[in-house]
Amino acid sequence: MNVLDSVWSNWTERDVPDLTGRVAVVTGGNGGLGLATVDALASAGAHVVVAARDQVKTADALAEVRDRHPSASLEVVPLDLANLSSVRTAAERIRGEHDRLDLLVNNAGLMALPERRTADGFEMQFGVNHLGHWALTALLMEPLLAADAARVVTVSSIAHHQGRQVDPSDPHLRRGYSPWKAYGQSKLANLHFGVGLQRRFEAAGVRASSLIAHPGLSNTDLQRRTVREGGGGSSAPLWETLAARTGMSPTVGARPQLRAATDPGAHGGQFYGPRFGSFGPPVVLPILRRWDLDSGIRVLWEVSERETGIPLVVG
């Protein structure tokens, strides 16, 4: 990818190459950015495993995809990222059906919710946005490495700039919780995970790659759920209004993660997002959080393995 392409790209979902024969897993693929991702991958010929918690919502969403693409190849696997038992069951089912996976899009997420815990006692946002995806990725490593050149795409947020790296002594923020602090921590963890995973792929000499994406300001249910559940403080309604009035549609907002997942010119370790921060075409962005990158990755690996009891082994 040349410099001009990175700056002026008008890449859209129509640029997704033929994916016939490829197998993709998308978490949270029953709404918002996830559903837009599923739709684009299925329309390009991929077999898409939709891993999501709400099965009624999933059935309705996939019916819409099939209406648009009658030949879509879709599969549903129940997944609750707030419960490691569910993650294990989902991963076992996926492994049982597919001996190789070409693409894993770690898309599902929560934003700025009131303090609550997962089934395993984790802070909910760190548990769902990072630890659940850590566990799923680790448990799917065998079929990912069995593919010719698998990609793992982890969806972060522009809010990672406000995040603090995980404190090993208090990863679940028991000593000072705030909804936006927890969200920022989880989204910075997504960035550290994506970069750290690429480093491990490279060290192991495998052909798999890890990329990161963020959607900018997109008009999905993410902001509305924050308001519905009383999170985010006084700024939450403002963000909901901004997303509704100025945010990109889910189709447009999903383009960075789609490009990271499918563009033949994309490379491991790259970070895709809207050209103009909150909006614009999907391009490669610089990773600006360099001052704490190495320590953040090291600590995240230690905490993630300790908390989940699931090591992430490459090779």
Q: What is the pLDDT of residue 240?
A: 59
- The model's pLDDT over 73-124, given as tens digits with 9 standing for 90+, comes to 999 999 999 999 999 999 999 999 999 999 999 999 999 999 999 999 999 9
- Residue 230 maps to a domain: no
3-class secondary structure, 207 = coil
Catalytic residues, by residue number, are 183
Range of the domain at 296: 3-215+249-308
pLDDT band at 237 (very low <50, low <70, confident <90, very high): low
Q: Which of 207, 210, 136, 196 is nearest to 166 (CA)?
A: 196
- Residue 67 maps to a domain: yes
Using an 8 Å Cβ cutoff, are 145 and 86 in contact?
Answer: no
pLDDT band at 164 (very low <50, low <70, confident <90, very high): very high
Instruction: Give the H/E segment covering residue 91.
Output: helix 84-97
Q: If you ran DSSP here, which 8-state letter would residue 130 be given? A: I
- Residue 223 maps to a domain: no
- Residue 88 maps to a domain: yes
Residues 6+ apart with CB under 8 A from 211: 151, 152, 153, 154, 194, 198, 260, 261, 266, 267, 268, 269, 270, 271, 272
Does residue 272 carry a pLDDT above 50?
yes
- Residue 289 maps to a domain: yes
Domain count, the chain: 1
For the domain that residue 268 is a member of, what is the CATH number?
3.40.50.720
Q: What is the pLDDT of residue 32?
A: 95
Burial of 13 per CB tally in 10 Å (0-12, 13-18, 19+): buried
H-helix segments, 175-275: 179-204, 221-228, 236-246, 250-253, 255-262
- Residue 298 maps to a domain: yes
- The model's pLDDT over 184-236, given as tens digits with 9 standing for 90+, comes to 999 999 999 999 999 999 999 999 999 999 998 877 666 555 656 666 555 65
- The model's pLDDT over 35-62, given as tens digits with 9 standing for 90+, comes to 999 999 999 999 999 999 999 999 999 9
- Residue 315 maps to a domain: no
pTM to 2 decimal places:
0.93
- Residue 150 maps to a domain: yes
The arithmetic mean of pLDDT across residues 260-285, rounded, is 95
